[in-house]
Chain A
Amino acid sequence: MFRKRPPPEEERRLRANDREYNEKFQYASNCIMTSKYNIITFLPVNLFEQFQEVANTYFLFLLILQLIPQISSLSWFTTIVPLVLVLSITAVKDATDDYFRHKSDNQVNNRQSQVLIGGILQKEKWMNVRVGDIIKLENNQFVAADLLLLSSSEPHSLCYIETAELDGETNMKVRQSLSVTSELGDPNNLAQFDGEVVCEPPNNKLDRFCGTLYWKDCKYPLSNQNMLLRGCVLRNTESCYGLVIFAGPDTKLMQNSGRTKFKRTSIDRLMNTLVLWIFGFLVCMGVILAIGNAVWEKEVGALFQSFLPWDPPVDNFLFSAFLSFWSYVIILNTVVPISLYVSVEVIRLGHSYFINWDRRMFCSRSNTAAEARTTTLNEELGQVEYIFSDKTGTLTQNIMTFNKCSINGRAYGEVMDILGAQKKRVQPLDFSAWNPLADRDFCFYDQSLLEAVMVGEPAVHEFFRVLSLCHTVMSEEKKEGVLVYKAQSPDEGALVTAARNFGFVFRSRTPGTVTTQELGKAVTYTLLAILDFNNIRKRMSVIVRNPAGRIRLYCKGADTVLFERLHSCSHELMNITSDHLNEYAADGLRTLAVAYRDLSEEQWEAWAERFNGADKATDCRDDRLSAAYEEIEQDMMLLGATAVEDKLQDGVPETIAVLSLANIKVWVLTGDKQETAVNIGYSCKMLTDDMTEIFIVNGHTVQSVREELRKSRERMLESARTRDGGKEVEAQGWGGACAFGNGCGAGGASNWVSNESKCSPPQAPPSSFLESISGEFALIISGHSLAHALEADMEREFLETACACRAVICCRVTPLQKALVVELVKRHKKAVTLAIGDGANDVSMIKTAHIGVGISGQEGIQAVLASDYSFSQFRFLQRLLLVHGRWSYLRMCRFLCYFFYKNFAFTMVHFWFGFFCGFSAQTVYDQYFITLYNIVYTSLPVLAMGLFDQDVPEQRSLEYPKLYEPGQLNLLFNKREFFICIAQGIYTSVVLFFIPYGVLSHATQSNGVPLADYQTFAVTTATALVIVVSVQIALDTGYWTAINHFFIWGSLGTYFTILFAMHSSILFNIFPKQFHFLGSAHNTLGQPVVWLTIALATVICIAPVLAFRFLKLDLKPQLSDTVRYTQLVLQKKQKPCGRVGRGVGGAGVASGSALGRLGRGGSRRSGYAFAHQEGFGELITSGKNMRMSSLALASFASRHSSNWIDTLRRKKHANSTGMQNTPPTGEDSAASSQAPPLSTSSSPAGKAGQACYEYVLTHSPDDIALSVIRSPEREVGEYSTGTVQEAPFVWKGTGARINGASSPGPPPIAEETSSGE
């Protein structure tokens, strides 16, 4: 940190292959250092940092005070021992953290890369790479620094990168080098390259780069398209060369990994406030005692001077009082115990470990356990009110499975439950038997569809033909017969894979052809046109010519658009299909309708001409193109419909149901389209059919958004009025207080809620009223509306409306908007927010929310890195919150209550004693007792409680989500509770002082020696204190594990052991001054009077607590008390634990049965979301992304441009005509692909018997199991399909799924067993 920092760069200037030149600028090397200390700097820097903490400085200050003899009322070690302990614990923790950072730095810095030095490729460590070096990257390597792509092995110097680590997006991105540099193919040429780059200084913008390359007296502009950023992985590219522009800390990756903002929990903030109050209290007590001292010294002390003259600097009572103030500050400092902060940290750390250790949050599929990445937020997990969830990858697996289809009016895929409950035993169809190209991970259960294919039903064949032709998927066949599809969106992949398994295998494509294997026979279609997808069209078509020369248009698209374009003779079929579609939509499936149209040669030619005209047009090209598309996509014949399941992560609907029962509101913020988002909303049961109304805010202007919001509020009110009928008077109560917090908390429990609620602007509707009618509304708002809604003057309105709805879905939102929404709720609701996501687009929201959760186990780790907690399944969230969070909160609250109590009980005794000892700051206890009280005698039992306490078993907190509520309402530890603790502490201190005082001041031992000496009093009080606080912790401990027993009894034992040791003659003989309590323990504790005193004090301290607790339990039992009680009763009755009361399962069954298939709106269908981007059609027809034969390549070699996609647009026409002219390259590919023996023998289904047998033989079960283990994705497929069939999908509502409805019990949070083994 003391390194000389060069002034900030204005611009970056570098020359390739010229280290000397570049060294002038002193650019950062590629060595990264995230660690904070090294061995030498550790101690000073760490201590410096630690003393920046207020608490530590405070104790240092106390220590200095104690060194002044006139003030020192305690020995120096009473402060220094705890302080050193605290500092060293923290230091050890910091050191370990830093050690791991050093390790990971080293690992990264020592990665190998190939650097071109002196024209030769040399292996170099990453850290030795310099700016201006040219390095070579190979496939699947991490990019070492921010590089300017110079050339690559691929055509057109394209190269593919995966930016998962950078921004979380798993799809591949294309980068292209400048044409001038792309010609420098080999190392020799590159070594000669001496271009100079002038570019922007290092920054953290991932999607922007601007610079200029000067080479050979020419200027070339550089953009982000030419850059490979550190953290990316090279894919599908053999190798490439890049020029290092930014290295090490200057790279965009490192610039982005700013230190995360330190998050504090609300308990933390409360604690800090309370500590400040306690300081105030301390000062007050100091002042009172100092005044007392002044009075005493004036009245008595002055007269007592013959026995005890004032200390030399003191010459009057006022100065004495001043000193006494500081002396008392020292004595009473234990009300703010230094061990508080350390203990809190320890407890949180323990809770974090429990999260890390939880097997039920371990995902065996991705082999990831849950991880608490922050150890400071645990108790806040028990207070969450709002969850903001990403969709893709979080709620869904981003895996699409072809689930059902309707072909020619017949529905397939719905397995009839002839076998009733045994349905789950139905095996997925074995396609490999007759189709060697089948994807083994594909699961389908309906035998009848396979039969239909085999029988050769033309409609079925045509259906799958569409699926195998009409798409933009690329295939790769590295090994014969092993096809890998690269779909741009998973929906498409699912459809093409389905076709593949049913015998219509998409094999390969060239810009002008599509080769398929139809039932074992290779067929090459000429691809005449791709009518690409876009958002408005909601469909895509291809026009192909089959080998027989017939031209056909195949179309798939949203049913709403497709049905309008059908031939009239399809109407009957359309109605049946429509019914099927409704069914599919009800199941939350994404549906597409599939159709075809036969085109005559004339029709095609006529259209092609118009199309070319439109394509070449310079103005309104897009409009004209779509008009042209529109023209040909008419009079289509309906084939059927597909239903693709956007596979939800396991247990998502159950989790959401449980969370909403726990009063947690789940908002989905997604970048997806509205349809997709709504669809998912339905499938994860956030939206249901029995919702009163779903408001969709989709306006583009401020006015319209405002209007829509207003209308929805009015509608809510209206429906409430009609529902409540006579209660309209209440409804008129607009403008009243608006209660924040959750609606269900409205009731007696919401004191806090209503207190906070006086601040709503006048125009705001009474959301207390709105919230009282919540539960039937949902709000769906799109990104552009959100932009308006989030503006300062409307955000309030938006928030009111949104919070009155049970479900809120924001679609098409940008990452920034996600953060803004979170921020909005955080700011206005005073509620704890949690954001959960998996991708880089969620990072901002994860960082903004109080708690950020990252879904791990996916490829991108950006979200995980930014998160506070990470695990691999959304459903673990309920465990994280309802079990761990709830416990953490409970434990932390109990811990804090007890901690403040015990320290007040301990310290305030000094205060009372002050009135008897002339306010001279004499302590009541032995100094060792003061030193050890907090760190030895009382720390471990409360720590054990803070770590292990459980009020109800974990399964109960999942069964009764309402148990979560106290945390949200902040009931367990707040200012009121704090004052109760303090009052209890003070009461205890009064008892602990005055009872021994009353007894001992007159008592004598049985041998006549008075007991009123100071040491006896000290020992009696101390012992009574330790016993009382031990009894109290025993009362507070609700869950006595062996550890609790050990700590509580152990602490008592330790106390007596240390007491006797300290008062032993051995220690006295060595240090007579330090251990002058010699014999006190023995003399005091041998007296029955003393024990009677201690017993009396304990009874007086504890009995009221017991009485109050019992009364509270009896009169106002909390839900947790009830659950606990019920459990106790059940245990007594020796019955197996049945569920009593309203469990989730019960509620689920009820709502499940209530869910019919009625009133399904069409809005939910047509999840035409299979293409996320348009433009891929053009990429295909241009052939740019294909490895082509040299012949084909030649035709493209002439066209270069820096912006290739623009070129594509412009040259579209030329391309497509070119396509027609090029001879079909299908023959090439067919020739090149030597048919595998299996594939030739297995064409028709019937003849495949032999092949099938062989296949099974070669793949022994072990083999399959292994492969399952090896590829997580594959297992996901299998497993999740299984889940659909087996999981108790109580909410699914489809009558056919009997097993779901018939399986009662709590949601399946069953411990993950090793399904892979």
Chain B
Amino acid sequence: MGKKQAGTGPLSRRPDNSAFKQQRLPAWSPSLTAQTVLPTFYILSLVCLFLGIWLFITVENTYELKVDYTNAGTCERCFDLRKHVIASKTPCTCTVSFQVPKTFQGDVFFYYGLRNFHQNLRRYMDSRDDAQMVGRKNNLKAPSSYCAPFDYDANRVPIAPCGAVANSMFNDSLTVMYNPAVGSEIQVPLYRKGIAWYTDKNVKFRNPPTNDTFTLQRAFEGTTRPLYWQRPVYELDDTDSNNNGFINDDLIVWMREAAFPNFKKLYGVLNRAQGPFTEGLPPGNYTLYINYNFPVEPFRGRKELVISMVTWFGGQNYFLPIAYLVTSGLILVAAVVLTMVYVKVGKKGKNMED
């Protein structure tokens, strides 16, 4: 303590007179008084109310449509077919009709939704190899042990992409046809790219290095496709060769595991370049054509198509505005009660004994 004053004077060991050591640091000591607490409550209530109403109005103008096609329409057949593992390779297509009651204005987003599919199981989530997906050659041929049992196939050939997540990728293809009142049906044009996070598409998922002579297919040589896949990873997208391999948007979207067993994942965005879709999705009858591959019966799941509008706030989501409104109400009640208590019975900061 008194090392500074090395002397041996009578006060050599006196502690320093610093505000810190003497616990006299200047400080602000707030205290809960009626003057601060009650207004806080009222203001909080007001703010919540305002937010709640604002959000509510926003949400009210956002539409969402869900089409459960698990065994609806002609999909009953496919549903039954997919119950059996043996028939998993048999192609099956089906259609489901649905109606859009109001115009979906602006950008319209198409999602596939799964219910009761647990992407959030610990071992499921661990069962992937990010090092492989970033295109590292070593990892490509030697998938992480976390991927087991989806790391090597029966012949000890490494699987790319490995792991349960990739293996269980959603592989229905959905086509939505618009049936206008007059004229033939028009396919609703969808952008199937640009539906993943920028960082995922550009950083997290990379293909192994290729060049003009060294094709993607050769890069993946020595690996095999996941067990449940019909196509190898480098042939995921027929239409766009730049959307193949690990950087395939559908794969990336799938690989971003959902937090809860009921989830939806982006399938495509309405291309508003032409036709009746420039304003959005017009109301009317639609038909959903499904290439029915993904089995949900074993785990009692459901599949659906979700069509949704988006505002600054995102898609339709009543939870938040309602939660705000409820909170606002409760805080208001609390504020009133507190005020009453303060006015009627409160000690106004006086101790009883005083």
Residues of A within 8 A of B (CB): 73, 300, 303-304, 306-309, 311, 327, 353-354, 356-360, 362, 364-365, 367-369, 887, 916-918, 920-923, 948, 950, 954, 995, 997-1018, 1038-1044, 1065, 1068-1069, 1072-1073, 1076, 1078-1079, 1082-1083, 1087-1089, 1092-1093, 1096, 1099-1100, 1103-1104, 1106-1107, 1109-1111, 1113-1115, 1117-1119, 1121-1122, 1124-1126, 1128-1129, 1141, 1269, 1314, 1316-1317
The answer on a CB contact under 8 Å between A920 and B258 is: no
**A999 and B118 in contact, given A367-B10, A1005-B314 (Cβ under 8 angstroms):** no
The answer on a CB contact under 8 Å between B331 and A1103 is: yes
A1002 to B62, CA, bound (A): 13
B313 within 8 A of A: yes
The answer on a CB contact under 8 Å between B121 and A917 is: yes
A306 to B354, CA, bound (A): 74
A1044 to B263, CA, bound (A): 42
The answer on a CB contact under 8 Å between A1072 and B11 is: no
Listed from nearest, the 10 A-B pairs whose CB atoms lie closest are: A1079-B199, A1125-B349, A357-B21, A1008-B109, A1017-B259, A1122-B351, A922-B122, A1004-B315, A1114-B346, A1041-B25
Q: Considering the complex, which residues of chain B in the window 293-324 have a beta carbon less than 8 Å from any beta carbon of chain A? A: 295, 298-300, 308, 310-317, 319-320, 323-324
The answer on a CB contact under 8 Å between B27 and A1000 is: no
The answer on a CB contact under 8 Å between A356 and B310 is: no
A-facing mask of B311-342, CB < 8 A → 1, else 0? 11111110110011001001100100010011
B70 within 8 A of A: no
**A1106 and B350 in contact, given A1073-B131, A1114-B341 (Cβ under 8 angstroms):** no
Partner of A1317, one of B11, B164, B261: B11
The answer on a CB contact under 8 Å between B195 and A1009 is: yes
The answer on a CB contact under 8 Å between A1096 and B10 is: no
Residues of A within 8 A of B28 (CB): 1039-1040
The answer on a CB contact under 8 Å between A354 and B25 is: no
- Name 11 A/B residue pairs within 8 A (Cβ), A-sorted: A303-B299, A353-B21, A356-B1, A359-B17, A360-B22, A998-B323, A1003-B314, A1092-B320, A1096-B323, A1125-B350, A1128-B33
A1010 to B324, CA, bound (A): 21
Q: From B323, which residue of chain A is reached at the shortest CB distance?
A: A1096
**A1110 and B349 in contact, given A73-B122, A916-B120, A1099-B327 (Cβ under 8 angstroms):** no
Residues of A within 8 A of B109 (CB): 1004, 1008
The answer on a CB contact under 8 Å between B31 and A1002 is: no
The answer on a CB contact under 8 Å between A1038 and B29 is: yes
The answer on a CB contact under 8 Å between B197 and A1009 is: yes
Q: From A73, which residue of chain B is reached at the shortest CB distance?
A: B122
The answer on a CB contact under 8 Å between A1041 and B26 is: yes
The answer on a CB contact under 8 Å between A1078 and B121 is: no
Residues of B within 8 A of A1314 (CB): 10-11, 14
The answer on a CB contact under 8 Å between A369 and B13 is: yes
Q: Considering the complex, which residues of chain B in the window 125-178 have a beta carbon less than 8 Å from any beta carbon of chain A? A: 125, 127, 129-131, 133-134, 136, 144, 149, 164, 167-168
Q: From B200, which residue of chain A is reached at the shortest CB distance?
A: A1079
A-facing mask of B59-84, CB < 8 A → 1, else 0? 00000000000000000000000000
Residues of B within 8 A of A1122 (CB): 349-351, 354
**A1078 and B199 in contact, given A369-B1, A950-B23, A1007-B310 (Cβ under 8 angstroms):** yes
Report the minimum CB–CB distance from A1265 to chain B (whole Å). 11
A359 to B17, CA, bound (A): 7
Residues of B within 8 A of A1125 (CB): 31, 33, 349-350
Residues of A within 8 A of B118 (CB): 300, 304, 308, 917-918, 920
The answer on a CB contact under 8 Å between A1010 and B320 is: no
A1114 to B341, CA, bound (A): 8
Interface residues on B, range: 35 or more
Residues of A within 8 A of B196 (CB): 1009
Total A-B Cβ pairs within 8 A? 318
The answer on a CB contact under 8 Å between A356 and B15 is: yes
Q: Considering the complex, which residues of chain B in the window 47-64 have a beta carbon less than 8 Å from any beta carbon of chain A? A: 48, 51, 55
Partner of B121, one of A920, A1039, A1041, A1269: A920
Residues of B within 8 A of A1044 (CB): 27
B266 within 8 A of A: yes
Partner of A359, one of B22, B41, B262, B331: B22
A1082 to B199, CA, bound (A): 9
B87 within 8 A of A: no
Residues of B within 8 A of A1099 (CB): 44, 48, 327, 331
The answer on a CB contact under 8 Å between B123 and A308 is: yes
B183 within 8 A of A: no
Q: From B17, which residue of chain A is reached at the shortest CB distance?
A: A359
The answer on a CB contact under 8 Å between A307 and B10 is: no
The answer on a CB contact under 8 Å between B347 and A1114 is: yes
The answer on a CB contact under 8 Å between A1089 and B349 is: no
Residues of B within 8 A of A (CB): 1, 9-17, 21-23, 25-34, 37, 40-41, 44, 48, 51, 55, 85, 107, 109, 111, 116, 118-125, 127, 129-131, 133-134, 136, 144, 149, 164, 167-168, 195-200, 203-204, 256-266, 269, 295, 298-300, 308, 310-317, 319-320, 323-324, 327, 330-331, 334, 338, 341-342, 345-354
Q: From A299, which residue of chain B is reached at the shortest CB distance?
A: B300
Partner of B14, one of A359, A887, A998, A1003: A359
A327 to B123, CA, bound (A): 12
The answer on a CB contact under 8 Å between B259 and A1016 is: yes
Residues of A within 8 A of B308 (CB): 1004, 1008
The answer on a CB contact under 8 Å between A1009 and B266 is: yes
Q: From B51, which residue of chain A is reached at the shortest CB distance?
A: A1092
A1073 to B111, CA, bound (A): 28
A365 to B9, CA, bound (A): 11
Partner of A327, one of B16, B122, B125, B313: B122
Which interface residue of A1069, A1111, A1114, A1128 has the most chain B CB atoms within 10 A?
A1114
Report the minimum CB–CB distance from B235 to chain A (whole Å). 22
Q: From B38, which residue of chain A is reached at the shortest CB distance?
A: A1110
The answer on a CB contact under 8 Å between A1076 and B130 is: yes
Which interface residue of B15, B124, B295 has the most chain A CB atoms within 10 A?
B15
Residues of A within 8 A of B12 (CB): 367
Residues of B within 8 A of A1126 (CB): 349
Residues of B within 8 A of A1017 (CB): 259-260
The answer on a CB contact under 8 Å between B22 and A358 is: yes
The answer on a CB contact under 8 Å between A1141 and B315 is: no
Partner of B349, one of A353, A368, A1117, A1316: A1117
**A1089 and B256 in contact, given A950-B29, A1114-B34 (Cβ under 8 angstroms):** no
A1078 to B33, CA, bound (A): 45
Q: From B253, which residue of chain A is reached at the shortest CB distance?
A: A1009
Q: From A1042, which residue of chain B is reached at the shortest CB distance?
A: B25
Residues of A within 8 A of B197 (CB): 1009, 1079, 1083
The answer on a CB contact under 8 Å between B300 and A922 is: no
Residues of A within 8 A of B44 (CB): 1099, 1103
The answer on a CB contact under 8 Å between A364 and B10 is: yes
The answer on a CB contact under 8 Å between A1079 and B204 is: yes
Q: From A1270, which residue of chain B is reached at the shortest CB distance?
A: B10
Q: From B199, which residue of chain A is reached at the shortest CB distance?
A: A1079
Report the minimum CB–CB distance from A894 to chain B (whole Å). 14
The answer on a CB contact under 8 Å between A1109 and B299 is: no
Residues of B within 8 A of A1013 (CB): 256-259, 263
Report the minimum CB–CB distance from B19 to chain A (whole Å). 9
A1111 to B37, CA, bound (A): 10
Report the minimum CB–CB distance from B194 to chain A (whole Å). 9
The answer on a CB contact under 8 Å between B341 and A1115 is: yes
The answer on a CB contact under 8 Å between B199 and A368 is: no
The answer on a CB contact under 8 Å between A1001 and B259 is: yes
The answer on a CB contact under 8 Å between A307 and B198 is: no
The answer on a CB contact under 8 Å between A1002 and B315 is: yes
The answer on a CB contact under 8 Å between A303 and B122 is: no
Q: From A314, which residue of chain B is reached at the shortest CB distance?
A: B123
Q: A1038-B29, A1041-B26, A1103-B327 are in contact. List 16 more A-B contacts (CB 8 A).
A: A73-B122, A303-B300, A353-B21, A367-B13, A368-B13, A920-B121, A1001-B259, A1009-B196, A1012-B258, A1013-B258, A1017-B260, A1040-B30, A1096-B327, A1099-B48, A1314-B10, A1317-B11
